[in-house]
A and B are shown apart, each in its own frame.
Chain A
Amino acid sequence: MKVLITGISGSLARGLATRLASAGHTVIGIDRRPWPDAPRGIDVFRVDVRKRPAEDVFRTHRPDAVVHMATVTYFTARRDERTRINLGGTQAVWHHCARYGVKQALFIGRHTVYGAAPDAPLYRTEDEPLLAGTTFPDLADLVAADLWAGNALWRSPDVRTAVLRMVYTLGPSRRGTLASYLGGARVPMVLGYDPLFQFMHEHDAISAIVAALEHQAHGMFNVAGPQPVPLSFLCRATGRTAVPLPGPVFPRVLGRLGFPRMPSASINHVKYPIVVDDAAFRAATGFAPEYDESKTMDAFRWA
């Protein structure tokens, strides 16, 4: 199978590309960023996914499957840039998929689109509404991209589409949203709140994407690993010092005093849990994580 990965220079995407290539698949990739030491046999095209040369890659290479991973968060890009990349890029990719006969397309999304709120239930299923547009406006572009990719299920029925809402990844690469939040020695928390955090090992995240490709997953799926862990436990197990800050102080210290730079609305995501139910994905693909919560946290801590 010939697989095109958009955003291939990202940390998780590199792992996926390597795994697919070693399993005998032909892998090509698109990214604006370079991947200098890409393994032989993996062709990386340094083009912007929204621009014409990207369409040319679809036209000339005719991939069988596409894994769309070219999305960004507030840790890596400004707001206007994020909307262009996340929503514009997703539109472009599914447009090309439909036009150039791609049989299968995966949107790699995030579980945070469900949004954190005091009255939201634990273990959200795929039919729950996506609240992040209101609870955390900086994720609105990702919510829009997620729903847009989901619309492809009826708009482009010839492209077998799956939207994977994946929990945070954690592991030796120390890349990703959760790793950025836990990046410093001291992690800001909100005093009196200790939400459950749901994460999976990078290795398992890659296995889940591979499983979705192999089983030709079709539909919207939550993808999760081991059971969730309260934030304070997560900080302790990864050797961080949790610093509980009173709610009104929290937004003011972000980006200062060695704390990570995050939008002030992120406070909801460190006060209330976002925990998803991944039963549908496990049933559809047979996926099961190899790393439990302790091993995953250790892998991040001791990398």
Chain B
Amino acid sequence: MLNRLVSPTVAERLERIDVPFNRLGLDPLGISRRHLGPFLSGLELLYRRYFRVTAVGIEHVPSAGRAMVVGNHSGGLPVDGGMVMASLFLDHEPPRLVHGMVEKFANNLPFLSEWFSRVGQLTGLPEHAVRMLERERVLMVFPEGARGTAKLYKDRYTLVRFGTGFVRIALQTGTPIVPFAFIGGGEALPVVYHFDLLAKVFRAPYFPVTPYGLPLPLPVPCRIHYGEAMRFEGDGTEPDDVIDGYVKQVRDRIAALTEEGRAAWEAAR
């Protein structure tokens, strides 16, 4: 039944994706071709029709081998994550499957736990990051974490504190970092308030509330600006001040891409 929901474009690109499926359509991490089809077709609809995403500089993401795409987080729900996943699957040649690093609470929730596991969105553990990079996959990292999507509308383009683990893992595994800026997330889901009681019920880090109540994103056009890949020297055992320096370089690059993206976004309005 689910197969009817798969668009022809997604079906064609799934044939060329860099995931080693076995006869059952499963890879060793539990990713399932049968689940990817409808999931990516849903994302395609959001990417092309609802958010009408423009991706710039997507050629900076390598066409094979390990890579880490690192960007800003905004907008209450991880719309940005879904759209980056869609862009690298739909607009990149060849199509690539992006693995996010999911907040831990999601695995506690029924259905979300099942679906995320089947489409390669595993809990954000360093062990998972290293394993996926060693398998030459593309990892998507939002170093701001839940602090990033928790941003209120007024703070949507400020970057909050970056975690530093991603740089250590990139060094340890010799992975290039491709910075990106996501524009429109804060406008699509303008968060004005956090409903802490509901957050507790779902054991979520926060529960976003919008001016119209529900945390549902509006059909705002979005942009993704990818920058040139960054490589740093080291093996991941460097002292904190060295790592902090690398993190700052990535953060500054993302801030610059955000400025560029915002200007283009305003111009297109």
Contact B104 A119 (CB under 8 A): yes
Contact A271 B123 (CB under 8 A): no
Complex CA–CA separation, A233 to B114 (angstroms): 13
Complex interface bits, B97-117 against A, C-beta within 8 A gives 1, otherwise 0: 000000010011111111001
Contact B128 A122 (CB under 8 A): yes
CB proximity of A160 to chain B, nearest CB, Å: 30
Contact A122 B110 (CB under 8 A): no
Contact A119 B117 (CB under 8 A): no
Instruction: List chain B residues, Cβ under 8 A from A273.
Output: 30, 117
Query: Is A55 part of the binding interface, using a Cβ–Cβ cutoff of 8 Å?
Result: no
Which of the residues B22, B107, B114 comes within 8 Å of A227, measured between beta carbons? Answer: B22
Instruction: List chain B residues, Cβ under 8 A from A230.
Output: 26, 30, 32, 117-118
Query: Is A262 part of the binding interface, using a Cβ–Cβ cutoff of 8 Å?
Result: no
Which of the residues B24, B27, B131 comes within 8 Å of A294, measured between beta carbons? Answer: B24
Complex interface bits, A266-301 against B, C-beta within 8 A gives 1, otherwise 0: 000001110000000000000000001110000000
CB-nearest residue of chain A to B107: A118
CB-nearest residue of chain A to B125: A121
Complex CA–CA separation, A228 to B31 (angstroms): 11
Q: Which of A221-276 contact B (CB under 8 A)?
A: 227-230, 233, 237, 247, 271-273
Query: Is A24 part of the binding interface, using a Cβ–Cβ cutoff of 8 Å?
Result: no
Contact B131 A233 (CB under 8 A): no
Instruction: List chain A residues, Cβ under 8 A from B128.
Output: 121-122
Contact A272 B28 (CB under 8 A): no
Total CB contacts across the A-B interface at under 8 A: 67
Instruction: List chain A residues, Cβ under 8 A from B107.
Output: 118-119, 272
Instruction: List chain A residues, Cβ under 8 A from B4.
Output: none
CB proximity of A122 to chain B, nearest CB, Å: 6
Complex interface bits, B169-204 against A, C-beta within 8 A gives 1, otherwise 0: 000000000000000000000000000000000000
Instruction: List chain B residues, Cβ under 8 A from A192.
Output: 109-114
Complex CA–CA separation, A192 to B109 (angstroms): 8
Q: How many residues of A sit at the interface, in one of the four size bands?
A: 20 to 34
Q: How many residues of B sit at the interface, in one of the four size bands?
A: 20 to 34
Contact A122 B131 (CB under 8 A): yes
Contact B104 A196 (CB under 8 A): no
CB-nearest residue of chain B to A237: B24
Answer whether A122 and B30 are a contact pair too, CB < 8 Å, given A192-B109, A233-B24, A294-B24. yes
Contact B110 A247 (CB under 8 A): yes
CB-nearest residue of chain A to B32: A230
Complex CA–CA separation, A228 to B118 (angstroms): 12
Complex CA–CA separation, A191 to B110 (angstroms): 7
Answer whether A122 and B32 are a contact pair too, CB < 8 Å, given A194-B114, A194-B117, A229-B24. no
Contact A193 B30 (CB under 8 A): no
- Residue of A191, A193, A228, A294 ringed by the most chain B CB atoms within 10 A: A193
Which of the residues A190, A196, A294 comes within 8 Å of B110, measured between beta carbons? Answer: A190
Please, could you name 12 A-B residue pairs with CB atoms under 8 Å apart, sorted by A?
Answer: A118-B104, A121-B123, A121-B127, A122-B30, A122-B128, A192-B113, A194-B118, A233-B26, A233-B32, A272-B113, A293-B22, A294-B24
Interface residues of A (CB under 8 A from B): 118-119, 121-123, 190-196, 227-230, 233, 237, 247, 271-273, 292-294
> Which 5 residue pairs of A and B lie closest in terms of their CB atoms, listed nearest first?
A192-B110, A121-B127, A118-B107, A192-B111, A194-B114
